[in-house]
Amino acid sequence: MFRLDGKIALVTGAGSGIGQAIAHLFAAQGARVWVLDRDLQAGAATVSAIRAAGGHAEFAELDVSDPVAVEAVAKKLPVVDVLVNNAGVGHVGGLLETAADDLDRLHAVNVRGPFNLCRSFVPGMLGRGRGSVINLASIAGVIAVRDRLAYTVTKHAVVGLTKSLALDYSHAGVRFNAICPGRVETPFVKARIAEYPDPEKAYREMSSTQLTGRMARPEEVAATALYLAADESAMVTGSTLLIDGGWSTGK
């Protein structure tokens, strides 16, 4: 079950963290994976590691916020079966610590990024009448997260984008789903923790927001992405799949 043999998958932000884990798992399950990242070194390292493990991977350097660059990459790539919009950025702060520029920076990557990729890659999927688009939203796309105003706003938008696309295009054979992780131990979260005056205390507090008492591992999120990419989830579209250790249940 959950094999991806013969499928072409594209993963943005696959040079690190969750995207890297998704790229590895998809390749291990038989997919040909395109690793897209604005960080050339990180993306190339992911590709080398996949190839060393016997998988198929290619790299393209790309800033997802740039629609012209996205379209140029799309012209060079084949039609993909699976598109994972994973690249994302964060910002710590409530209203008073969030400048308009911070909001714009997060919007450019977290919202316009998936929008740009969908604009360029979904037409090919629609032309073939099949495909799976997986957007990395967040628990912050379902509930508000304290001191994360710009992040909460943009991740709610990712959930809205996913639902809107699912409503308009699921009838044509292309599925759109959002994954909403709680905290996952990746460089993204480690960078946020390092910003706190007492990082160890911050780590404990961030772990405890999950009812399970720990953060998720990137591989655990990748397993959810594999389910959504595989044909076994053919009836799943427009969903927001929580992998939050029960965080959203209540506190």
Would you please indicate which residues are annotated as catalytic (active-site) residues? 151
User: How many residues make contact with ligand NAD (CB under 6 A)?
Assistant: 30
Residue 58 CB, shortest distance to ligand NAD, in Å, is 15
What residues contact 101, with CB distance under 8 A and at least 6 apart?
A: none
Would you count residue 149 as binding ligand NAD (CB under 6 A)?
no
Would you count residue 89 as binding ligand NAD (CB under 6 A)?
yes
What residues contact 239, with CB distance under 8 A and at least 6 apart?
A: 177, 178
Residue 78 CB, shortest distance to ligand NAD, in Å, is 20
- Counting Cα atoms < 13 Å in the Cβ hemisphere of 138 gives 25
Q: Quick one: which of 23, 37, 82, 161 contacts ligand NAD (CB under 6 A)?
A: 37
Q: Quick one: which of 10, 84, 86, 166 contacts ligand NAD (CB under 6 A)?
A: 86
What residues contact 85, with CB distance under 8 A and at least 6 apart?
A: 12, 64, 113, 114, 117, 118, 133, 134, 135, 136, 158
Would you count residue 225 as binding ligand NAD (CB under 6 A)?
no
Q: Quick one: which of 4, 8, 19, 33 contacts ligand NAD (CB under 6 A)?
A: 19
Structure tokens that stand for 78 in this block: 């084949």
Residues that bind ligand NAD (CB under 6 A): 12-13, 15-19, 37-39, 42, 62-65, 86-89, 109, 113, 136, 138, 181, 183-184, 186-189
